[in-house]
Structure 1
Amino acid sequence: MNAVRLHAFGPAENLVHEAVPAPVPAAGQVRVAVAAAGVHLLDTSLREGVRGPAPALPDLPTVPGREVAGTVEALGPGTDPAWLGRRVVVHLGFAPGGYAEYAVADADRLHPVPDGLGPAEAVAMIGTGRTALGILQFAALGPGSVALVPAAAGGIGTLLVQYAKNAGAEVVALAGGPAKTALAAGNGADLALDYTAPGWSAAVRTRYPDGATVLFDSVGGATARTALGLLAPGARHLVFGWSGGELVLTDAEQAALTARGITTQHVLGPAMFQRVATPDPLRTLETRALAEAAAGRLRPALTRYPLAEAAAAHRALESRATTGKVVLEPGLRPFRRKPVGTASG
């Protein structure tokens, strides 16, 4: 089979598309003919040799990729034969193997792909979708809410905008550049602004003089500092990333926020799972995310790349040149031009 392998930690160019033996499913596993594999920012960190939240760096050489969708075409010993031939999607956890034409997965982690949902959309929801729904548990959105969403044309941001509108909230979407703000507006944002242009904060104050009630903060840095000044008393500041640099508040800034009743909460990890009252919180969020997409309430945005161009996908993701969820597709022919996302970071 063809796969993308990493032989040495470092830049995106270290991702090599090459022929390797197909994996063999062990007991309780299946082998999936991959139609779509998700690309995550964590993949780029691991490629560089930065462990981040992963328990350890992978042994080299490795096939990256933690989210796949496709068709079950082989079973390991003792695996339920009912899975054979089914369309499935699975989050592999921290185990790599997704950037390939075939991947193995534990059968108990599989989800059937709902009717009407394509493999790329399913991949987006199994990871990005479950994270978005986990974050939204802390937002308490409804009529009268004003949601401020930086990176609103990204994979998570797109879903946050859509969910907030479905809940009856007003949405201020921040994105980098006119193309991305147009995508955010197309997803229902009431006010879509380019946060790289001057004057965006004044536009928010004019439209919503009482302030926003929740800030979905995946950016941090200067953007988050400005956005905090746009919040209403008692607002929520939900932190789940810092792509623009970690936000470090001075004692005076923190005291001012506290005086206004604004609370900051880091919502990834254990805090998110404690809100899901089931024995398997991750699987519960995955199931909910797939159901939301199948019902058409959430529509993941995608930027698609051929499997052979995984290095280009990593470079584009790191430079914020993509919109929505980045997906590798083994069946997609290699580009001879700059790839364009199919929808809305």
Structure 2
Amino acid sequence: MHAIQLHAFGPAENLRYEEVADPVPGPGQVLIAVAAAGVHLLDTAIRSGHQGPLPELPELPTVPGREVAGTVTALGAGVDADWLGREAVAHLGFAPGGYAELAVAEADRLHRVPPGLDAAEAVAMIGTGRTTMGVLQFAEPGPDDVVVVPAAAGGIGTLLVQHAKNAGATVIGLAGGPGKTSRVRAAGADLAVDYRDDAPSRWTEKVRAFLGGRHATIVFDGVGGAAGRSAVDLLGPGGRHIVFGWSADGIGDADGGIAFPDGYLDERGITSETVLGPKMMRLAGGDSPIRTLELRALAAAADGRLSPAVQRYPLAEAAAAHHDLEHRATVGKVVLEP
């Protein structure tokens, strides 16, 4: 089969499209003919040599990628025969292997691809959709809310805009460039602002003028940096800053995020909470919190409540996909298609 291999940690150009041996499913595993493989910002950090939340960096050479969808073509021992020939989607966890024509997945991680979703859309919901469902546990918007979403043209940002608008909230989406702001408006935002075109003092004034004296009540922040800091300034008393990433400073940077002046949040009556990790899983509850969030995400897409934005690249162009994602040149969830 063909796959993307990484032989040395470093720049995107280190990702090589090569012919490798077909993987073989072991007990409790299945083989998937991959129709779509998700690309995550974390993948770019690992490729660069940052361990991030992984227990350890993968042994090289490695085939990156942890989200796949396609057809189950072979079963390992002990797997229900009903999976053979099914369209399935799975998050592989910390196991790599997704950037390939064939991938092995644990059978207990599989979900059937819901009718009406293609493989790329299913991949988007199993990863970014899952995280979106987790984030929304901490601040569920309603009709009285003014919601600000930095990086609103991204995979999670698009879903947050859609969800908040469906809930009746007033939604402000921030994005870089006119192409992205048009996508944010199409997702349902009441106002889409190009935060790269103007200094913070200018784009925030546009938001304040639009709100006519109202304050933001929720900021869903997966960016941090200057954009995230300026978005927090839009919050009024009782406002909530929900943090689920720091992409402005690089996911591998342990000092990413926003440093607030002493007393700033307390004086303004604002709470700031980082929600990724065990905290999110505890709130999801159940025997398998991750699976609970995945099921919620897939159901929301299947019934039309959410519609993931997807940017597709051929598998052989994985290096270009990584480069574009790192340089904020993508819209929605980035997916590789063999």
TM-score of the two chains, using structure 2 as the length reference: 0.95
> Are 2:273 and 1:270 aligned?
no
Please show how residues 260-299 of structure 1 align to structure 2 within 5 Å. Answer: 260-299=268-307
* 8 Å CA contact 1:36, 1:69 repeated in 2: yes
Secondary structure in 1 aligned to 2:240? strand
Aligned to 1:204: 207
Cα-to-partner distance string for 1:239-262 (whole Å, 9 max, x where unaligned):
111122334435xx3413212210
Map of 1:18-33 to 2, 5 A cutoff?
18-33=18-33
- Could you say which residue in structure 1 is the equivalent of 2:233? 229
> Partner residue of 1:214?
218
In structure 2, the CA distance between the partners of 1:104 and 1:247, relative to structure 1 (3 Å rule), is closer
Please name the residue that 1:238 is paired with.
242
Contact 2:228 2:258 in 1 (8 A): no
Are the counterparts in 2 of residues 39 and 327 from structure 1 also a CA contact under 8 Å? yes
Which residue matches 1:144? Answer: 144
| Matched-pair contact (CA < 8 Å) for 2:238–2:269 | yes
Q: Which runs of 4+ in 1 moved over 4 A?
A: none
The equivalent residue for 1:342 is none
Report what 1:84 is aligned to.
Answer: 84
Instruction: Give the 3 Å change call, closer, same or farther, for CA 141–248 of structure 1 in structure 2.
Output: closer
- CA deviation digits over 1:52-94, x for unaligned, max 9? 1111100011000000000000011121111000000000001
Instruction: Report the Cα distance in structure 2 between the residues aligned to 1:190 and 1:249, rounded to whole angstroms.
Output: 29
User: Which residue of structure 1 lines up, in the alignment, with residue 326 of structure 2?
Assistant: 318
- Measured at CA, do residues 247 and 83 of structure 1 come closer, stay the same or move farther in structure 2, by a change above 3 Å? closer
* Residues 1:2 and 2:6 aligned together: no
Distance 1:276 1:41 in 2: 23
Contact 1:6 1:47 in 2 (8 A): yes
For residue 15 of structure 2, what is the amino acid of its counterpart?
Answer: L
RMSD: 0.9
**Aligned partners of 2:229 and 2:89: how far apart in 1?**
38
| Number of equivalenced pairs | 328
CA distance in 2, matches of 1:7, 1:315: 17
CA contact (8 A) 2:245 2:257 kept: no
Q: Distance in 2 between matches of 1:92 and 1:134?
A: 18
Q: How does 1:61-140 map to 2 (within 5 A)?
A: 61-140=61-140
Any stretches of 5+ residues in structure 2 without a counterpart?
Answer: 250-255
Q: Report the AA paired with residue 289 of structure 2.
A: P
- Equivalents in 1 of 2:174, 2:10: separation in Å? 31
Tell me the distance in 1 between the aligned counterparts of 2:257 and 2:88. Answer: 39
Residue 302 of structure 1 contacts residue 323 of structure 1 at CA under 8 Å; is this kept in 2?
A: yes
SS at match of 2:248: coil
Runs (5+) with no aligned partner, structure 1:
331-345
Identity among equivalent positions (%) equals 65
> Where does residue 300 of structure 1 map in the other structure?
308
Q: Specify the SS of the correspondent of 1:275.
A: helix
Partners in 1 of 2:207 and 2:127 — Cα distance? 31
Counterpart Cα distance in 2 of 1:248 and 1:230 = 15
**How far apart, in 2, do the equivalents of 1:315 and 1:206 lie?**
36
Aligned to 1:249: 259
Residues 222 and 247 in structure 1, CA contact (< 8 A), matched pair in contact too: no
CA–CA separation in structure 1 for the residues paired with 2:262 and 2:176: 27
